[in-house]
Amino acid sequence: MALAPASDVIVHRTFERDPDDDRPRLECGVVGVWGQPDASAVAALALHALQHRGQEACGITSFGEGRFHNERHLGHVGDAFSGPNLLQRLPGSSAIGHTRYSTAGGAGMRNIQPMFADLRTGGIALGHNGNLTNFMALREMLVEEGAIFQSTSDSEVILHLIAHSKKRKIVDRFIDALSQIEGGYALVGLTNKKLIGARDPLGIRPLVLGRLGDAWVLASETCALDMIGAKFERDIQHGEIVIIDEKGVRSLRPFPAARARPCVFEYVYFSRPDSVVNGRSVYDVRKRMGAQLASEHPREADVIVPVPDSGVPAALGYAQASGLPFEMGIIRSHYLGRTFIQPSQGVRELGVRMKHSPNRAVLSGKRVVLIDDSIVRGTTSVKLVRAVREAGAAEVHLLSASPPIMWPDFYGIDMPERSQLIAANHTLEEMRARLEVDTLGFLSVDGLYQAIGVGPRNAALPQLTDHYFTGDYPTRLIDHERRMSGERSADKQLSLLASA
Ligand code: AMP
């Protein structure tokens, strides 16, 4: 085949996604800063550390000089908030920030957070990580009551509920709003006087509190605290609301006591390995997932090769437990930014590998154990397995450091629907054949629980939110059930709006 002419190469300068990367995307990250003269600069740095949680858009709202300031941009934090000019437009000693990948509502400017509303009681800005499972039901109710929505994001529902509350004080309005929502959420809110943080009743989404000198910081993950040199104070508890103001930090538990069920996928994939989530080092957990995988699926092999970056700790754990050498048999390009050269179909058919390249020196003639943290649709694996074979591997054994993903998510993690999940639609042997590997293995659910340090799984009272693997959803799925039963068409209205 002839190479496509130069004009066949299109340079994209939008935030469009890398066409070679058809994996599902992440959710969002939130930060809040209180009592720091450069609050917005601190928030921007902290958001940098949370970039892995969402790369589509980011925003910061500060309060200073008697009013709110809001900057929201498409793209990465480093691009949006580089240089002093932008941050000068965000004065004040308190700020919240958000980095977004859309899991509800479309992409686009109007869905970028923090969102802001002017209420009778004063302004409030809100940043939200997670998904509400009764978003559509609430939205419909609010629209019927006359609410006019500016966005298609579920986060705006929370603002409307706060606005509609009959309570007088902002904190009571906030609680009133939270008592009506269901799902997984970590929220940061900013008023002229307070920074508010909240975590859903099961603690599905994470949120931590840190101290930076006399200032307070809220963040989705501890890696954001490390980035700015803040000291980790504690996790915000499941169902807890913290109010931070000049009097210090106040903790409220307004909802009926529930058992915590944090999300297992924060450990499997989402959180950065240097974060400590719910008291456990993500890196250590991932290494233990690899060690556990070695005991459940031993292989006669020459090298253990991770799918970088997310498979690295598990592959290290496997290598150390099995005594087999760990090698970087796949090299990942870290330069696929927002601006990239999108090959035309013609060039792509030549086998352009933008993200991962096989390292022939490691793979040639070897029996390879390839380890990834998870297999979702199988698209990444199939490409990599072919590349590894083309580089001369004698055998390819694919292992997933998490169990087969069988069920979609409704709590803020972008997972494809069930029909696209390879494990939901194929037997192990069918998957092995499709992925073109010599053997295929998955970590067991109990093995994953052991690696996290809470195992084995208690079937009657599961310790974690783990529906991906078990189908056991920890909350009602009101919108989903309505959709299944064909009730109402608000979804349709919304998608019309999204494409408008
Ligand atoms: P797939 O190609 O669909 O099988 O996706 C598997 C790959 O996607 C693995 O390399 C995972 O590290 C990664 N992954 C798993 N879950 C997610 C997610 N929710 N968002 C982005 N990437 C993911």
Tokens coding 405? 């993903």
Q: What pLDDT, in 10s, does the model give residues 99-147?
A: 987 555 555 678 889 999 999 889 999 999 999 999 999 999 999 999 9
List the beta strands (DSSP E) in 134-281.
183-190, 195-199, 208-212, 215-219, 231-235, 241-245, 248-252, 276-277, 280-281
Is the pLDDT reported for residue 495 higher than 60? no
Atom of ligand 1 nearest to the CA of 380: 2
Q: What angle do CA 42, 45, 50 make, to 5 degrees?
A: 125
Q: How far apart are CA 463 and CA 446, in angstroms?
A: 11
pLDDT at 328: 98
Confidence of residue 499 (pLDDT cuts 50, 70, 90): very low
- Beta-bridge mates of residue 266: none
Long-range contacts of 282-287 (CB under 8 A, 24+ apart): 283/313, 285/451, 285/452, 285/453, 286/313, 286/314, 286/317, 286/373, 286/401, 286/451, 287/313, 287/314, 287/316, 287/317, 287/320
Task: Residue 241: name the closest of 177, 167, 183 by CA.
Answer: 177
In this prediction, what percent of the chain has a pLDDT beyond 90? 77
Q: How far apart are CA 278 and CA 273, in angstroms?
A: 13
415 lines ligand 1 (CB under 6 A): yes
Indicate which residue of 28, 58, 223, 263 is catalytic.
28
Q: What pLDDT, in 10s, does the model give residues 259-309?
A: 999 999 999 999 999 999 999 999 999 999 999 999 999 999 999 999 999
Distances (CA, A) of 17 to 74, 281, 346: 12, 30, 19
Task: Residue 33: name the closest of 57, 4, 63 by CA.
Answer: 63
375 lines ligand 1 (CB under 6 A): yes
pLDDT at 389: 98
- Beta-bridge mates of residue 189: 126, 196
Most confident of 147-156, 344-353, 427-436: 427-436
Buried b (16+ CB within 10 A) or exposed e, 296-324: ebebebbbbbbbbebbbbbbbbbbebbeb
Identify the residue whose C-alpha is closest to ligand 1 atom 21: 25
Is the pLDDT reported for residue 10 higher than 90? no
Of 268, 307, 374, 381, best ligand 1 pocket probe by most atoms within 8 Å of the beta carbon? 374
CB contact at 8 A, 422 and 256: no
- Every domain of the chain with CATH number 3.60.20.10 lies at 7-261
Q: What is the mean pLDDT of residues 447-464?
A: 97
Identify the residue whose C-alpha is closest to ligand 1 atom 8: 23
Q: 3-class SS at 137?
A: helix
Atom of ligand 1 nearest to the CA of 376: 4
How close is the Cα of 300 to the center of ligand 1, in Å?
Answer: 27
How close is the Cα of 376 to the center of ligand 1, in Å?
Answer: 6
Q: What pLDDT, in 10s, does the model give residues 62-90?
A: 999 999 999 999 889 999 998 778 889 99
Higher pLDDT among residues 7 and 287, named by residue: 287
398 lines ligand 1 (CB under 6 A): no
Q: How far apart are CA 138 and CA 276, in angstroms?
A: 34
Is-catalytic flag, 263? no
Whole-model pTM?
Answer: 0.91
pLDDT at 16: 36
Number of alpha helices (DSSP H) and beta strands (DSSP E) in the chain? 19, 23
How close is the Cα of 179 to the center of ligand 1, in Å?
Answer: 33
Of 51, 380, 382, 386, best ligand 1 pocket probe by most atoms within 8 Å of the beta carbon? 380
Work out the mean pLDDT of the chain and round it to a whole number: 89
> 281-333+343-470 is classed in which CATH architecture?
3-Layer(aba) Sandwich (3.40)
How close is the Cα of 367 to the center of ligand 1, in Å?
Answer: 24
- CATH H-level, domain 7-261: superfamily: Aminohydrolase, N-terminal nucleophile (Ntn) domain (3.60.20.10)
Tokens coding 186? 């970590």
pLDDT at 25: 40
CB contact at 8 A, 171 and 196: yes
> Which DSSP category does 270 fall into?
I
> Which DSSP category does 263 fall into?
B
Please, which residues have CB within 8 angstroms of residue 480's CB and are 6 or more apart in sequence?
133, 410
How close is the Cα of 3 to the center of ligand 1, in Å?
Answer: 31
pLDDT at 14: 31
Q: What is the mean pLDDT of residues 165-191?
A: 97
Q: What pLDDT, in 10s, does the model give residues 404-448?
A: 999 999 998 888 889 999 999 999 999 999 999 999 999 999 999
Atom of ligand 1 nearest to the CA of 373: 12
How close is the Cα of 331 to the center of ligand 1, in Å?
Answer: 17
- Every domain of the chain with CATH number 3.40.50.2020 lies at 281-333+343-470
Identify the residue whose C-alpha is closest to ligand 1 atom 3: 377
Q: What pLDDT, in 10s, does the model give residues 382-409?
A: 999 999 999 999 999 999 999 999 999 9
pLDDT at 339: 41
Altogether, the residues listed in the chain come to a count of 500
Q: What pLDDT, in 10s, does the model give residues 17-52?
A: 343 443 334 479 999 999 999 999 999 999 999 999
